[in-house]
């Protein structure tokens, strides 16, 4: 067990900030025009999502807004998930350069996130890492090369290899992309960040089609490898990710390393208004804080939904009926605190009355979305023949936080 300690907000490295500032300065858009472009793209990402063009980054204004505002945020999302991977992964890797596949890479957000993350933890691996980055937009691939080369120049790396190939994510094993994927396997990491939700949008069952894409790629995953899938935190996109997860697990193609603590059907899908997403604290860079002030946004947290998939059965923590993921914020009600939890037993709402607070269950006060907790015993009281829908933690029950996020 790890004792609970407040984790620092995720933050971009000084090297990434320098590279992004240099690349963004090459764009023609700035000031109020850039701020308006950020507002417009934000609207397309959220309330007007059905109107989002397939190759929206081919539009110069959208590209400028993405590079200036959304790329740094999405880069940090990849890095906080890299922090969740087993810290002994490097010892499991064979004596060869680390191989990464970045599908739907856009301007190389995931590739750059991985390179920077690796440089600060294992510089030797960063110097030899090999990345195959694929996207349908040639303009985005050119941007990916610029960012990669600028970062390598900034830190003095000469051996890191980025290969860019134009291809269709809906058919990854066809054409030149398929040949490149087959030639480059097996991959230690596959990244699909904010792209699967944009595929098969008109298909009868988009989550099933997306699961099929993942299934096609699994044979090219290294035995110790991980597939990282990140999607927006919106209800629609998150629920579609939950449905895709169910398709994959039902076929027995892989297992969930994180965030799920079970392989059963996702209980969030039982109710149409439920969905799971993350909200991680983030240290806002000055340039983004300035844009926030201009447009009235507040970007101080990383919000997303995700899956980390593996084929070796490894999980982020040992599972048990007493181990839960907190899937909501801790709500302070009159005389009690409550949160929604999830594990193999379901998605229960669990609370502790203030008068039942004790040293044994004090960890409840520190619950937050995404934390993994262990509860010795949950009581469901019965009154007039009806069982309370809210589970209760009594004063003598031990509660621990197993892992922070």
Q: What is the CA radius of gyration of the chain?
A: 22
Each domain of the chain, given as residue ranges in start order, spans: 14-310, 323-403
Burial class (CB in 10 A: 0-12, 13-18, 19+), 2: exposed
What is the Cα–Cα distance from 288 to 402, expressed in whole angstroms? 33
Question: What is the CA angle 230-231-232, rounded to 5?
Answer: 135
The span from the CA of 9 to the CA of 280, in Å, is 7
Q: How confident is the model at residue 1, as a pLDDT?
A: 34
Contacts of 19 (CB under 8 A, 6+ apart): 112, 147, 150, 151, 154
Residue 30: its pLDDT value, please? 77
What residues does 336 pair with on adjacent strands?
333, 353
Q: Cβ neighbours of residue 47 under 8 Å, at least 6 residues apart? A: none
| Bridge pairing between strands 278-281 and 323-326 | unpaired
pLDDT value at residue 55: 86
Q: How far is CA 204 from CA 118, 145, 209, 217, in A?
A: 40, 36, 9, 22
- Report d(CA 324, CA 333) in Å as an integer: 21
Q: What CATH number does the domain located at 323-403 have?
A: 2.40.50.140
Nearest residue to 154 (alpha-carbon basis) of 11, 12, 19, 20: 19
* pTM for this prediction: 0.94
Residue-level pLDDT, tens digit, the chain, 405 residues:
333 335 679 999 999 999 999 887 667 677 889 999 999 999 999 988 888 888 899 999 999 999 999 999 999 999 999 999 998 654 455 578 999 999 999 999 999 999 999 999 999 999 999 999 999 999 999 999 999 999 999 999 999 999 999 999 999 999 999 999 999 879 999 999 999 999 998 899 999 999 999 999 999 999 999 999 999 999 999 999 999 999 999 999 899 999 999 999 999 999 999 999 999 999 999 999 999 999 999 899 999 999 999 999 999 999 999 999 999 999 999 999 999 999 999 999 999 999 999 999 999 999 999 999 999 999 998 887 788 999 999 999 999 999 987
**Three-state helix/strand/coil letters over the chain:** CCCCCCCCCECCCHHHHHHHHHHHCCCCCCHHHHHHHHHHHHHHHCCCHHHCCCCHHHCHHHHHHHHHHHHHHHHHHHHHHHCCCCCCHHHHCCCCCCEEEEECCCCCHHHHHHHHHHHCCCHHHHHHCEEEEEECCHHHHHHHHHHHHHHHHHHCCCCCEEEEEECCCCCCCCHHHHHHHHHHCCEEEEEEECCHHHCCCCCCCHHHHHHHHHHHHHHHEEEEEEEEEEECCCHHHHHHHHHHHHHHHHCCCCEEEECCCCCCCCHHHHCCCCCCCEEEEECCCHHHHHHHHHHCCCCCEEEEEEEEEECCCCCCCCCCCCEEEECCCCEEECCEEEEEEEECCECCEEEEEHHHCCCCCHHHHHCCCCCEEEECCCECCEECCEECCEEECCCCCCEEEEECC
Q: Which class is domain 14-310?
A: alpha beta
């Amino acid at each position: 067990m790890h004792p609970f300690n407040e984790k620092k907000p995720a933050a971009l490295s000084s090297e990434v900030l320098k590279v992004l500032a240099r690349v963004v300065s090459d764009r023609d858009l700035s000031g109020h025009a850039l701020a308006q472009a950020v507002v417009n793209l934000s609207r397309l990402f959220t309330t007007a999502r059905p109107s989002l063009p397939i190759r929206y980054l081919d539009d110069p204004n959208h590209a400028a807004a993405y590079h200036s505002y959304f790329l740094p945020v999405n880069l940090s999302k990849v890095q906080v998930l890299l922090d969740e991977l087993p810290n002994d992964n490097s010892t499991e890797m064979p004596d060869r350069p680390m191989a990464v596949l970045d599908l739907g890479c856009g301007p190389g957000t995931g590739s750059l996130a991985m390179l920077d993350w690796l440089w600060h933890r294992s510089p030797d691996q960063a110097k030899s890492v090999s990345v195959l980055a694929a996207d349908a937009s040639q303009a985005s691939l050119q941007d990916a090369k610029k960012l990669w080369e600028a970062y390598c120049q900034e830190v003095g790396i000469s051996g890191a290899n980025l290969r860019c190939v134009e291809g269709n994510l809906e058919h990854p094993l066809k054409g030149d992309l398929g040949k490149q994927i087959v030639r480059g396997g097996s991959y230690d990491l596959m990244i699909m960040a904010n792209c699967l939700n944009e595929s098969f949008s008109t298909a009868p069952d988009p989550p099933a089609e997306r699961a099929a894409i993942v299934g096609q790629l699994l044979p090219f995953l290294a035995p110790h490898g991980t597939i990282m899938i990140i999607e927006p935190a919106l209800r629609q996109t998150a629920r579609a990710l939950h449905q895709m997860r169910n398709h994959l697990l039902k076929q027995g193609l892989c297992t969930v390393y994180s965030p799920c603590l079970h392989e059963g059907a996702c209980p969030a899908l039982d109710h149409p208004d439920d969905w799971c997403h993350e909200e991680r604290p983030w240290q806002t860079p000055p340039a983004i804080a300035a844009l926030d002030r201009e447009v009235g946004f507040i970007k101080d947290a990383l919000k997303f939904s995700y899956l980390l998939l593996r084929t070796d059965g490894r999980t982020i923590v040992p599972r048990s009926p007493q181990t839960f993921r907190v899937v909501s914020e801790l709500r302070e009600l009159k005389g009690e605190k409550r949160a929604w939890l999830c594990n193999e037993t379901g998605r229960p709402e669990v609370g502790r009355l203030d008068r039942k607070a004790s040293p044994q269950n004090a960890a409840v006060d520190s619950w937050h979305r995404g934390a993994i907790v262990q509860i010795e015993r949950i009581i469901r009281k019965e009154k007039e023949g009806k069982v309370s829908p809210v589970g209760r933690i009594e004063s003598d029950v031990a509660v621990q936080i197993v892992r922070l996020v």
